[in-house]
């Protein structure tokens, strides 16, 4: 077992867990029935990924329900509140593009039969890359519809893309144990996102990506304010019954 | 459409009646009496609305589910309910209704949904009780609908029932874990069953002598069994299940009747049922307000999708097929 790989599994598992939770908040509130199905579907895929990743590190429920805010390693992007549908879609576009590119690379790394954790992670990446391709397609299709829909939807989508931009740089902080060229990953991500925004008649946001003091320390356990409240809701029942099984 | 003369009207009716009598399926393009069509639209729409409103009491616990496994099960269930709503609106659309028009009737209170979803989910155990009792009652109601005379509805029910049975087992299993868990968990499970038992029995509708649509629906083979018959069947199934759960049902009059071969049970509080149907239940306002708000707040998203489709319809069909003439033909 490699402890460095645990750091990566924890970070990626927390990303999936937290974003899944946010998407779960949409249940019963989506703009159209088909989106109730789609958002829940994505949330479920992510929760499935989270469970595999967290189980590599320890007990999934202990990790999800008994860690405090400062021990979570998810990127700040995924903990951002849902906002309007455009914010949810922008967050999803940024994140699924990242996940697809990253999992694609992890799945393509050379097998290492001597390292069980690494092999599990490779297997997860190979399965998850198919799921996240769907997520990315869903987010791209909505980015196009909102960006190139009505004036109102265009403005909302641009606002959302701008507002979340500062949280995207953090995604490319190297994770220990993953043999990935992070600079190339970031360049590919930028190319992909820029192309979608361009087709959606949106402009690529300007400004700092994770260079300011507020954005980009989630991997170090420094989160944004809404995250603590999210955890309070997620954990309260589990914590109210110590040692119980469900 | 040519005018239907009195003679041909009778001939159509005879064909329809014979098809129903022979247990054949009525399909969307077949002639059917206006009242049969109207009854089905009403029933299927209200069934669809129940799936959609029914997402709310359970979704209320998604963000607080106590383990990741339970959270995944609950999310999948709520997702299935949205899917059931979609099948059912499609089935209603084969009768000439439109989803938008039906949703509008739901939002304006002109069409109803199942009374059960006007009760609040106060603890995690309510999620298990809904799975066991509410889905159990729904299945008891819906399995006979798989043989309903209207084909699209019957086929939707086959798919819905398969998934519902799965949810029901999961609900039972969640309650069992609580019942066998800590004393606090057991108490939570019992409290939930106490609160959901009677509302679940009300899901079968008013007693037979007060059920307005029953006789006609049975003659048309939309309905196969009376409300009271189904309710009795449900009670008979639940009593032994409650015993194996290690939980009691909140009815002092519940006992086996050797002579009838059924369980006798206490009187239902029909005044409560009528109040809930009138809109005065604990969550009626909350449920409709949330549904309306989701719809209104989503209007700009739906408008964007429509605007985008209009802008791109020529380009996509022309661009991918290369047969530009067909798109506008």
How many residue contacts between A and B have a Cβ separation below 8 Å? 142
B322 pLDDT above the threshold of 70: no
B328 pLDDT above the threshold of 50: no
Whether residue B15 is contained in a domain is answered as yes
SS3 for A54?
helix
Return the CATH number at A73: 1.20.1260.10
- B255-257 and B262-264: which strand pairing? antiparallel
Dist. CA B56–CA B81, nearest whole Å: 10
Contact of B122 with chain A, judged by CB distance below 8 Å, is answered with no
Residue A183 distance to chain B (closest CA, Å): 34
Residue among A27, A146, A237 minimizing CB distance to B78: A27
Contact of B183 with chain A, judged by CB distance below 8 Å, is answered with no
| Stretch B153-165: mean pLDDT | 95
Residues of A in contact with B55 (CB under 8 A): 27-28, 36
β-pair partners for A60: none
Instruction: Count up the domains in chain B and report the number.
Output: 1
Residue among A40, A60, A148 minimizing CB distance to B75: A40
Is the separation of the CB atoms in A234 and A72 below 8 Å?
Answer: no
Q: How crowded is residue B14: how many other Cβ atoms within 10 Å of its Cβ? A: 10
Residue among A32, A48, A238 minimizing CB distance to B72: A48
Whether residue B315 is contained in a domain is answered as no
Residue A211 distance to chain B (closest CA, Å): 32
Residues of B in contact with A233 (CB under 8 A): 63-64
Whether residue B102 is contained in a domain is answered as yes
Which residues 160-179 on chain B approach chain A with CB closer than 8 angstroms?
A: 174, 177-178
User: Do the chains contact at A28 and B185, CB–CB below 8 Å?
Assistant: no
Whether residue B294 is contained in a domain is answered as yes
* Domain hosting residue B191, numbered range: 11-299
Whether residue B195 is contained in a domain is answered as yes
User: pLDDT truncated to tens, each residue of chain A (246 aa)?
Assistant: 456 789 999 999 999 999 999 999 999 999 999 999 999 999 999 999 999 999 999 999 999 999 999 999 999 999 999 999 999 999 999 999 999 999 999 999 888 888 888 899 999 999 999 999 999 999 999 999 999 999 999 999 999 999 999 999 999 999 988 989 999 999 999 999 999 999 999 999 988 887 777 778 999 999 999 999 999 999 999 999 999 999
pTM of the model: 0.94
Which residue of B72, B187, B305 to mutate against A (max A Cβ within 10 Å)?
B305
Dist. CA B32–CA B10, nearest whole Å: 12
Check residue B134 and report its DSSP letter. I
Whether residue A245 is contained in a domain is answered as no
Whether residue B53 is contained in a domain is answered as yes
Residue among B79, B299, B308 minimizing CB distance to A148: B308
Residue of A nearest to B188 (CA): A241
β-pair partners for B256: B263
Is the separation of the CB atoms in A167 and A76 below 8 Å?
Answer: yes
Residue among B85, B300, B311 minimizing CB distance to A152: B300
Residues of B in contact with A236 (CB under 8 A): 64
* Domain hosting residue A11, numbered range: 3-240
pLDDT tens for B71-97 read 999 999 999 999 999 999 999 999 999
Residue B315 distance to chain A (closest CA, Å): 14
DSSP string, B182-219: -HHHHHHHHHHHHHHHHHHHHTT-S-GGG-SSHHHHHH
User: Do the chains contact at A85 and B65, CB–CB below 8 Å?
Assistant: no
Check residue A37 and report its DSSP letter. H
Residue among A35, A44, A234 minimizing CB distance to B72: A44
Whether residue B321 is contained in a domain is answered as no
Q: Which residues contact B259 (CB under 8 A, 6 or more apart)?
A: none
Instruction: Count up the domains in chain A and report the number.
Output: 1
Whether residue A172 is contained in a domain is answered as yes
Distances (CA, A) of B177 to A65, B77, B182: 19, 18, 9
By C-alpha distance, which of A52, A53, A145, A45 is closest to A95? A45
Residue B121: band (very low, low, confident or very high) from pLDDT cuts 50, 70, 90: very high
Residues of B in contact with A149 (CB under 8 A): 303-308
Whether residue B182 is contained in a domain is answered as yes
Residue A162 distance to chain B (closest CA, Å): 19
Residue of B nearest to A25 (CA): B63
Residues of A in contact with B180 (CB under 8 A): none
Supply the mean pLDDT for chain B.
93
Is the separation of the CB atoms in B138 and B200 below 8 Å?
Answer: no
Please give the pLDDT value at position A3.
65
Return the CATH number at B136: 1.20.1260.10
User: Do the chains contact at B82 and A50, CB–CB below 8 Å?
Assistant: no
Residue A26 distance to chain B (closest CA, Å): 9
Please give the pLDDT value at position A113.
82
B6 pLDDT above the threshold of 80: no
């Amino acid at each position: 077992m490699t402890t460095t790989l645990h750091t990566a599994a924890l970070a990626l598992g927390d990303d999936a867990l937290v974003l899944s939770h946010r998407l779960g908040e949409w249940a019963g509130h989506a703009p159209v029935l088909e989106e109730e199905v789609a958002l829940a579907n994505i949330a479920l895929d992510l929760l499935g990924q989270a469970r595999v990743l967290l189980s590599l590190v320890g007990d999934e429920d202990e990790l999800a329900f008994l860690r405090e805010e400062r021990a979570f390693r998810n990127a700040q992007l995924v903990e951002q509140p849902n906002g309007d549908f455009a914010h949810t879609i922008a967050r999803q576009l940024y994140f699924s593009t990242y996940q697809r590119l990253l999992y694609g690379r992890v799945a393509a790394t050379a097998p290492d039969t001597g390292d069980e954790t690494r092999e599990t992670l490779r297997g997860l990446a190979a399965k998850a890359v198919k799921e996240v391709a769907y997520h990315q397609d869903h987010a791209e299709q909505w980015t196009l519809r909102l960006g190139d829909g009505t004036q109102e939807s265009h403005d909302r989508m641009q606002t959302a893309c701008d507002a979340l931009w500062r949280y995207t740089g953090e995604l490319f902080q190297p994770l220990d144990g993953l043999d990935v060229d992070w600079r190339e990953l970031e360049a590919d991500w930028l190319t992909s996102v820029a192309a979608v925004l361009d087709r959606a008649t949106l402009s690529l946001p300007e400004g700092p990506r994770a260079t300011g003091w507020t954005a980009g320390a989630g991997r170090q356990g420094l989160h944004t304010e809404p995250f603590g409240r999210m955890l309070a809701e997620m954990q309260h029942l589990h914590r109210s019954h110590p040692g119980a099984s469900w | 459409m040519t005018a239907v003369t009195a003679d041909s009207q009778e001939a159509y009716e005879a064909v329809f009646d014979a098809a129903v009598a022979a247990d054949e399926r009525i399909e969307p393009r077949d002639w059917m009496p206006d009242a049969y069509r109207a009854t089905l639209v009403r029933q299927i729409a209200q069934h669809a609305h129940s799936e959609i409103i029914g997402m709310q009491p359970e979704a209320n616990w998604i963000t607080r589910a106590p383990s990741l496994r339970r959270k995944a099960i609950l999310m999948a269930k709520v997702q299935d309910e949205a899917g059931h709503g979609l099948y059912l609106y499609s089935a209603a659309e084969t009768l000439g209704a439109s989803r938008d028009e039906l949703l509008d009737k739901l939002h304006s209170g002109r069409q109803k949904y199942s009374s059960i979803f006007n009760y609040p989910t106060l603890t995690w155990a309510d999620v298990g009780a809904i799975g066991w009792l509410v889905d159990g009652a729904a299945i008891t109601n819906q399995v006979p609908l798989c043989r309903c005379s209207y084909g699209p509805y019957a086929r939707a029910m086959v798919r819905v029932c398969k998934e519902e049975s799965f949810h029901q087992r999961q609900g039972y299993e969640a309650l069992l874990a609580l019942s066998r868990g800590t004393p606090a968990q057991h108490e939570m499970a019992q409290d939930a069953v106490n609160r959901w038992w009677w509302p679940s029995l009300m899901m079968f509708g008013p007693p037979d002598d007060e059920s307005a649509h029953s006789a006609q629906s049975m003659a048309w083979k939309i309905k196969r069994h009376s409300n009271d018959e189904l309710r009795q069947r449900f009670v008979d199934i639940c009593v032994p299940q409650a015993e194996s759960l290690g939980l009691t049902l909140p009815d002092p009059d519940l006992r086996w009747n050797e002579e009838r071969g059924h369980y006798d049970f206490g009187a239902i509080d029909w005044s409560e049922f009528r109040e809930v149907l009138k809109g005065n239940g604990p969550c009626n306002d909350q449920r409709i307000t949330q549904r309306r708000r989701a719809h209104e707040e989503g209007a700009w998203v739906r408008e964007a999708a429509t605007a985008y489709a209009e802008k791109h319809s020529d380009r996509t069909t022309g661009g991918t097929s290369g047969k530009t003439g067909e798109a506008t033909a």
